[in-house]
């Protein structure tokens, strides 16, 4: 009995360590610790279910299903693994995609072993497009890029791996090689040297002020000239445009005033022309009436004309 209790405590310790590693995104380290916990106590369902979740997060769906099925067979009552299995069964597309990805990964691995790197890269890109968290596919793709000396793409693939699994041992080793070939290792090393090279200041250290450098007359003249040039530049850049805008506004206002006066004069001229036309029409109408009246009285006019003619040709007798 004491032996069983001791094994259970050891298993609990490994489970707690694995849980802490999982919270820190150290999935590889957490998986190793959880496997040790199950080695000491195979009935610890929390460790087995967490191990299944880690496998699922790393793209290993088949291994995750194996752990959850074993957990349900050992302890079927009040087991959260039942919920995980139901979720996957309700979404059969997940199993189909994972099965296809495993086949593509194996095909890509076969291509890589037979020096068909282009086909292998193509297959792995399809796998990653369907399963972005498939760590093995990212690592194999990084290896193929490194074989091509394409260190930038290899570094991007390894960066994605470390984003999923922070302390993945294979990714860390490969990332060191990539950094050495891209110069990132020297940059990071120099950065660390600059960070830790400064000595902490002690209480008896005295900071000596720097000596103030005197300016020569030529330097003062040059600075004054530079200041005058800057002032003129600021004037032409800021003050002059404002004055030009003000003058333009005044000119526009004067132009508007003259335009209004011209419009008024044109309106007055139009009115006078209209009145002149009306007067001309009235005079023409009066003339037409006079002509019509003259035409209507011809006998009287002729009588007056004849009488006036007779008087002119017949002088009066003088007594």
In the predicted model, is pLDDT for residue 72 greater than 50? yes
Q: How far apart are CA 265 and CA 112, in angstroms?
A: 95
Specify the pLDDT at position 28: 92
Q: How far apart are CA 71 and CA 67, in angstroms?
A: 6
**Angle at 295 (CA atoms; ends 291, 300), nearest 5 degrees:** 120
Residue range 26-67, pLDDT digits in tens = 999 999 999 999 999 889 899 999 999 999 999 999 999 999
Q: How far apart are CA 258 and CA 252, in angstroms?
A: 10
Characterize 187-205 residue by residue with b for buried, 16 or more Cβ atoms within 10 angstroms of its Cβ, and e for exposed. eeeeeeeeeeeeeeeeeee
| pTM listed for this prediction | 0.57
Residue position matching structure tokens 């003050």:
239
How far from the centroid of its chain's Cα atoms is residue 238's Cα? 33
Distances (CA, A) of 50 to 11, 30, 45, 280: 14, 9, 8, 112
Q: How far apart are CA 167 and CA 161, in angstroms?
A: 9
Contacts of 266 (CB under 8 A, 6+ apart): none
64-73 LR contacts (CB < 8 Å, sep 24+): 71/45
Residue range 238-297, pLDDT digits in tens = 777 777 778 888 888 888 888 888 888 888 888 888 888 888 888 888 888 877 765 555
pLDDT category of residue 204 using cuts at 50, 70 and 90: very low
In the predicted model, is pLDDT for residue 205 greater than 50? no
Residue range 218-229, pLDDT digits in tens = 777 888 888 888
């Amino acid at each position: 009995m004491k032996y069983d209790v001791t094994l259970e405590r050891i298993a609990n310790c490994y489970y707690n360590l694995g849980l802490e590693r999982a919270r820190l995104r150290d999935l590889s380290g957490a998986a190793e610790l959880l496997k040790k916990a199950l080695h000491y106590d195979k009935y610890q369902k929390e460790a087995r279910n967490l191990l299944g979740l880690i496998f699922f997060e790393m793209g290993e769906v088949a291994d995750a299903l194996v752990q959850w099925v074993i957990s349900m067979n050992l302890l079927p009552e009040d087991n959260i693994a039942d919920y995980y299995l139901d979720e996957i069964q309700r979404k059969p597309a997940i199993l189909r995609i994972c099965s296809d990805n495993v086949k593509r990964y194996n095909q890509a691995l076969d291509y890589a072993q037979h020096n068909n790197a282009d086909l292998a890269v193509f297959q792995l890109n399809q796998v990653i497009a369907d399963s972005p968290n498939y760590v093995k596919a990212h690592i194999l793709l990084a290896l193929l890029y490194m074989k091509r000396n394409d260190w930038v793409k290899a570094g991007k693939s390894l960066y994605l791996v470390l984003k999923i699994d922070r302390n993945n041992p294979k990714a860390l080793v490969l990332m060191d090689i990539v950094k050495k070939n891209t110069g990132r290792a020297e940059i990071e090393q120099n950065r660390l040297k600059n960070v830790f090279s400064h000595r902490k200041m002690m209480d008896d250290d005295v900071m000596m002020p720097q000596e103030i450098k005197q300016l020569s007359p030529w330097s003062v003249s040059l600075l004054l000239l530079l200041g005058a040039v800057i002032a003129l530049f600021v004037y032409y850049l800021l003050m002059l445009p404002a004055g030009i805008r003000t003058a333009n506004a005044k000119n526009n206002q004067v132009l508007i005033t003259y335009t209004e006066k011209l419009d008024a004069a044109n309106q007055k001229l139009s009115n006078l022309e209209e009145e002149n036309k009306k007067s001309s029409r009235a005079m023409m109408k009066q003339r037409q009436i006079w002509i019509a009246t003259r035409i209507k009285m011809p006998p009287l006019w002729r009588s007056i004309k004849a009488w006036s003619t007779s008087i002119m040709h017949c002088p009066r007798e003088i007594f």
